[in-house]
Structure 1
Amino acid sequence: MKSLMLAAAAALLPVAAQAHFLLQYTTDTMIDRPGDVPVKLIFWHPMTVGHVMALDKPQEFYAIHNGEKIDLMDTLTPSTFNGGENENPAFIGAVPVKRSGDYVLVTVPQPYYEETEDLYIQQITKAYLNRNELPTDWDQPQGLKTEILPLNKPYNVITGSTFTGQVLSEGEPVAGAEIEIEYMAAEPSFETNAASDPQAKPMPGGAVVAISDANGYFTFGVPKAGYWGFAALGSGPDTEHEGKELSQDAVIWIRARDME
C-alpha cells in the first residue's frame, strides 16, 4: 500500500518541485586537520545553476560522530546566495571536526511553500565528512523520518563505479520511491556567496530518475567527479502541512573522485 501511494504521489508531483535540492556544502569531504569546517546551507537548483529559494532557519542542524549527536544550531548565521538567476537567504554553519572518523551532517528544514504549485516541500538532508580515513558512522541509519542509507562510502565514491542507496521511511524500506538525481554543476563560493562557473550542463530529457526496488534499493552509475545529490520524493510519513500537501523528501549528497 505504501509503494502504491508513493507511485501515485510521484505521478502528481510537479516538475518544478522535483528540481529543488537542499545543499549542505563543504569544499571537501575528507578533512586533514582538526578544526571548524564551514558548511553552506542553500536551497537551489544545482544542476541547472538556476533559481535559489529562500531558506528559513532549519528546525534542526546537527552532526553524528561515533553515534553521538552534536547540535550545530548555534553555529548558524544568516547569509545569502546568488545561484546564477537570483539571490536569496541562505545560512552558513560550522562542524567541529576534531577526532578521527565520520561526521554525518543532518539538516531538517522548515517546510518550504512552493506558491506556484500550492504545496510544501521538506527535504531532510544528509551529507558526510571524514577525518583520517577512519570509517565510523556512514553505514548506519540516523533514525530520521525519512532518509537514504548509503551502501557505498559516500565521501570517496570512484568515478565510473556505482552508488547504491536504500530509501527508508521511519526505518522501513520504501518500495517504488522516485529518486531524482542531480549533479552540483557549479559549486558555491564561500568568498563571493555565489555559484562558481558551471562544470556541466543539464542532460536532455529532463531530470535523471531512478525507482527503488521492492526492498527500497536503487543503484546509479556515477559518470563524473564532484558532488551528486539523490532525493527520494515524498518518501516521508508526513503528507500534509498547514492544510496543504507536503512532499517530505529524503536527500543524500555524495562525493565522487577520479582515480589518479
Structure 2
Amino acid sequence: MLKTPLRLAVAAVCTLLASGSAQAHFQLAYTPEVNITKAGDHAVKLIFWHPFENGHVMDMGEPLEFYAVHRGEKIDLKSTLSPMTFKGSENSAAAYDGTLTLKRSGDYVMVVVPEPYYEESEDIYIQQITKSYVNRNEIPTDWMDAQGLKTEILPLNRPTNIVAGSTFTGRVLSEGKPAAGVEIEIEYMAAEPDMANNQPQEPTASPMPGGAIVAISDDNGYFTFGVPKAGFWGFAALGSGPDKEYQDKELSQDAVLWVRAYDVK
C-alpha cells in the first residue's frame, strides 16, 4: 500500500479550474447500494454517459474485462454481462447489465476495462479503465490497495463512506507509478440509473457553471477535492494511461474512480 506523505495536506490541495469541455464522458459501474449486509446477487449497470448533465449516452462495445477483486482474489464477472439499451434524456445507447455476487464480508473492487470508444467530434479514442466499490458488513479488506491496472486512481479515503462536506484524496497511478500534472475531471451523478427501467431517475442537481470541474495531480500524483454533497462522485484522470494510440488514432486512456458520500445525520 502506498503511504501518504505528511505534507499531503499542503501539497495535494488542488485548484478547481474550468475546463473547456462542457460535458465529461464517464464510464459507470453502478449499483445503487455500496454498503450491504446480506450475501447474494446484486445488479450492476455498465453505462458510458454524461451523468452530471443527465445528457448524451455513448454506445458501449463489449467490455474487454469486467471483474471484482475480493481479499486479493480476482473474480471474473464478464460471463454475467448481457446487452441492454439505456435511455438517457437525449438519446438511447448500448450498455450492459451485470451481476456482482457477494459471499464473504469485505470489499469488492469492481473493475471495468472497456473497449476503446471512438469520439467522432474529436477524432480520438477514449478508454476509461474504471473502479467502483461495494462493501459487505463494514469490514475493510481491499479498498486501499492498487489493482495493478495500466492506470488507476488509488483512494486515500475509504470510498464507500465519504462524509459529505469533508474531503476526498486520491493518487493517480500510471503503470503503478505516481502520475504528476494529470487533469482530473470531477463529476456528480446527478441522475442515478433506474435499475428496473434502464433510464435515469429524476436529477437531484444541476451542472456547475463554467464547464467541467477539474483538478490537477501534484508532483506525487495526489489530488484532493472537497465533497460538497451526498451521492456518487466520479473522478476521471484524463490520458493518464501509458497507451496513447489505438487503430492509428490518438487514444485517451483514462483512470476512473467512483466513490459514495453520505450526509451525517
Paired with 1:114 and 1:15, the residues of 2 have a C-alpha distance of: 13
The residue number in structure 2 matching 1:153 is 158
Shift of 1:127: 0.1
Match of 1:56 among 61, 65, 86: 61
The residue number in structure 2 matching 1:253 is 258
Match of 2:21 among 15, 30, 52: 15
Q: Secondary structure at the match of 1:254?
A: strand
Count of matched residue positions in the alignment of Structure 1 and Structure 2: 247
Shift of 1:14: 7.1
Report the CA distance shift for 1:196/1:55 in structure 2 as closer, same or farther (over 3 A).
Answer: same
Q: Secondary structure at the match of 1:149?
A: strand
Match of 1:231 among 236, 240, 255: 236
Paired with 1:173 and 1:80, the residues of 2 have a C-alpha distance of: 37
Asked if 1:38 corresponds to 2:43, the answer is yes
Between Structure 1 and Structure 2, the one with more helix by share is 1
Match of 2:198 among 190, 193, 196: 193
TM-score norm. by structure 1 comes to 0.94
**1:133 counterpart letter in structure 2:** E
Deviations 1:169-221 (A, max 9, x none): 00000000000000000000111100000000000010000000000000000
Deviations 1:142-177 (A, max 9, x none): 000000000000000000000000000000000000
Q: Secondary structure at the match of 1:74?
A: helix
Moved over 6 A (4+): none
Paired with 1:120 and 1:174, the residues of 2 have a C-alpha distance of: 21
Task: Calculate percent identity across the aligned residue pairs.
Answer: 67
Q: Secondary structure at the match of 1:15?
A: coil
**2:74 counterpart letter in structure 1:** K
The residue number in structure 2 matching 1:179 is 184
Question: Unaligned 5+ residue runs, structure 2?
Answer: 1-18
Shift of 1:32: 1.6
Whether contact under 8 Å (1:102, 1:138) holds in the other structure is yes
Shift of 1:15: 2.4
Q: Aligned runs of 1:28-177 on 2, under 5 Å?
A: 28-177=33-182
TM-score norm. by structure 2 comes to 0.92
Deviations 1:218-255 (A, max 9, x none): 00000000000000000000000000000000000000
Whether contact under 8 Å (1:14, 1:117) holds in the other structure is no
The residue number in structure 2 matching 1:205 is 210
The residue number in structure 2 matching 1:5 is none
Paired with 1:131 and 1:83, the residues of 2 have a C-alpha distance of: 31
Paired with 1:84 and 1:228, the residues of 2 have a C-alpha distance of: 20
**1:207 counterpart letter in structure 2:** A
Q: Secondary structure at the match of 1:36?
A: strand
**1:56 counterpart letter in structure 2:** G
**1:15 counterpart letter in structure 2:** S
Whether contact under 8 Å (1:227, 1:253) holds in the other structure is yes
